[in-house]
Structure 1
């Protein structure tokens, strides 16, 4: 069977091939009745327009960019997979800043010529640097708020306060808050959530840090926790929490018998760790769908509204009943 082309459709309808082409690439230039005849004939003949030709005609690339600050952080792979699924037939071009916030503007500038829009996942660069790097390129920010740009974020406030109530119900009254990287939007949100809860309860809150949001940062945080009387600790994220548990264990301090630990993000490590980690999860699939929809709206020239989703607290085995007097006396003075 001969291949169906715009020329064969044009011949069949008795019109110019250029009219057929415009019916697909520039429909606003073709009379509605003519376009309807073209589409009907194309469907009947099984014609599929060339996506490459369409993109050349419209100036669109059919691709979106995705910037992540550190691909080695286990928080990002599930998000990337969800975004790719939500993007459908759009190509997702991923760039990794490798933990260097100063590299983010240059990476964004490099992406601009290759994509129709850019998703910025938890970027670390300043608002000013991000806006300057983007220029007029449509963009949506994930898990952070940047003035002048639409965002899709997860509000962990309610879930973290549920975690705090869970800790309180287990008898913990001395709590350590292990703060994350300086300047991190998420760190500020999580710190504010625990602070506001502590202000209306009879707990003693000790803030420690900031610590690097990493396994090593968590091990360093464990040293500081053991210098306090805190029986429970909130880590900035799950990777940090895993480091805390490892550091406590190496010091002979058992979780949750002597210390309880809560993380945030619910990465795979949280579910395979021993003990499994009590943590707060982000609805990755919903976040991805909202982010892709917002970016497509921005590409089409609309101004999408920012969206705030709710986190969910999941208690697991890293939190237990507060230890009695004398059971939380483990101390260390040497680095792990």
Structure 2
């Protein structure tokens, strides 16, 4: 069984080239990741260039070889994989199947896989990097490609995994690996501008887990939006996953309340509205609330929840298309991240600031 470690030991299964400094010290070795980044292709494409050159189009083949030669990278002879047939299976890992976001992503990936005659293996990591590492490592011998959705693993580990199988990450950007995510910034700006026009002067960001790459992105977007709109921004402690930590974050809000709040996601926003109601506060009369994700619940809760609509199903379909394209050697080898814009959906959970 393959194993994955967070730290790179300086060696590469496809070969390395080490140069020496004039003082006798050795420079860092040129690795397959270096070649991939310099060539602007995936690690899997570089690996195929040296393992299976007949499976790479001529232009890409020549380009990768030229970059490798320029960097001083020379692949060692590697025994081809014994298996000659594809498994016909793609792996998808998600953090929480109870979250409607992930179930919608899984459904979109499943449909695209079925359309291309591939099966799909879905695994839940429960927000644990250790569980995620173990699940993916066990899956490698049995699947043709992998999609990691909002992975919690370090970038170095993900890049190492990408040397084993075609791999894409969703809701995260990892250098040297096919990445796709939503740009929430413009939609968050629109939501904050709407709150400012309604007379709000302070807003609280109800934060997600620090492990989530998206939480950092959304925090930065909130800071930029509030600066532009002239609103004061406060931030709670981690409120996701919803549970005891959420209650602590919500109580922190009550200690220093603002007239508006934007939550890390819709699950947090709904739990927050329930908390406010239990403490005698009304949405939106006392506090305006905005969520992120625009899950179906937003339309049926009371009041209906304003939210940032994330194009997750489009991203999921594109992830499946690209992975299957890599597996069949028929896809685009370009490594530029796929970025789709989110949109703001105004609903009844926001209103004029209380006087």
* Fold match (TM-score > 0.5): yes
Inter-partner Cα distance in structure 2 for 1:139 and 1:262: 33
Q: Which residue of 1 aligns with 2:49?
A: none
In the TM superposition, residue 58 of structure 1 has moved relative to its aligned partner by 4.2
Which has the larger Rg? 1
Q: Which residue of 2 aligns with 1:320?
A: 351
The answer as to whether partners of 1:217 and 1:240 remain within 8 angstroms in 2 is: no
Structure 2 counterpart of 1:307, from 309, 313, 338? 338
1:160 aligns with 2:191: no
In the TM superposition, residue 188 of structure 1 has moved relative to its aligned partner by 0.6
Unaligned runs of 5+ in 2: 1-53, 55-81
Q: Which residue of 2 aligns with 1:21?
A: none
The answer as to whether partners of 2:192 and 2:229 remain within 8 angstroms in 1 is: no
State the TM-score, normalizing by the size of structure 1.
0.76
Say which SS state the counterpart of residue 99 (structure 1) adopts. Answer: coil
Inter-partner Cα distance in structure 2 for 1:318 and 1:215: 22
Say which SS state the counterpart of residue 83 (structure 1) adopts. Answer: helix
Structure 2 counterpart of 1:176, from 204, 210, 214? 204
**Superposed CA offset, 1:95-116 (max 9, x none):** 1112222111111111111111
Structure 2 counterpart of 1:112, from 140, 146, 168? 140
Q: How does 1:213-228 map to 2 (within 5 A)?
A: 213-214=241-242, 216-228=244-256
Q: Which residue of 1 aligns with 2:94?
A: 68
Q: Which residue of 2 aligns with 1:238?
A: 266
Q: Which residue of 2 aligns with 1:48?
A: none
Decide which moves more: 173-182 or 197-206. Answer: 197-206
Kindly tell me: are residues 65 and 264 of structure 1, through their superposed partners in 2, closer, same or farther at Cα, counting changes over 3 Å? same
Structure 2 counterpart of 1:269, from 297, 308, 322? 297
Structure 1 counterpart of 2:238, from 203, 207, 210? 210
Structure 1 counterpart of 2:155, from 109, 112, 127? 127
In the TM superposition, residue 117 of structure 1 has moved relative to its aligned partner by 0.2
The answer as to whether partners of 1:215 and 1:242 remain within 8 angstroms in 2 is: no
Say which SS state the counterpart of residue 100 (structure 2) adopts. Answer: coil
Kindly tell me: are residues 262 and 320 of structure 1, through their superposed partners in 2, closer, same or farther at Cα, counting changes over 3 Å? same
Structure 2 counterpart of 1:102, from 130, 134, 153? 130
Q: Which residue of 2 aligns with 1:294?
A: 322
The answer as to whether partners of 2:239 and 2:247 remain within 8 angstroms in 1 is: no
In the TM superposition, residue 236 of structure 1 has moved relative to its aligned partner by 0.5
Say which SS state the counterpart of residue 229 (structure 2) adopts. Answer: coil
Say which SS state the counterpart of residue 293 (structure 2) adopts. Answer: coil
Decide which moves more: 199-208 or 260-269. Answer: 199-208
Q: Which residue of 1 aligns with 2:214?
A: 186
Cα RMSD, aligned residues only: 1.9
Say which SS state the counterpart of residue 131 (structure 2) adopts. Answer: helix
Say which SS state the counterpart of residue 292 (structure 2) adopts. Answer: coil
In the TM superposition, residue 219 of structure 1 has moved relative to its aligned partner by 3.6
Say which SS state the counterpart of residue 219 (structure 2) adopts. Answer: helix
Kindly tell me: are residues 135 and 106 of structure 1, through their superposed partners in 2, closer, same or farther at Cα, counting changes over 3 Å? farther
Inter-partner Cα distance in structure 2 for 1:294 and 1:304: 10
1:80 aligns with 2:80: no
Inter-partner Cα distance in structure 2 for 1:164 and 1:269: 22
Say which SS state the counterpart of residue 258 (structure 1) adopts. Answer: coil
Kindly tell me: are residues 57 and 103 of structure 1, through their superposed partners in 2, closer, same or farther at Cα, counting changes over 3 Å? closer
Kindly tell me: are residues 57 and 112 of structure 1, through their superposed partners in 2, closer, same or farther at Cα, counting changes over 3 Å? closer
Q: Which residue of 2 aligns with 1:199?
A: 227
The answer as to whether partners of 2:105 and 2:312 remain within 8 angstroms in 1 is: yes
The answer as to whether partners of 1:171 and 1:322 remain within 8 angstroms in 2 is: yes
Inter-partner Cα distance in structure 2 for 1:274 and 1:220: 23
The answer as to whether partners of 1:221 and 1:244 remain within 8 angstroms in 2 is: no
**Superposed CA offset, 1:36-69 (max 9, x none):** xxxxxxxxxxxxxxxxxxxx98421111110111
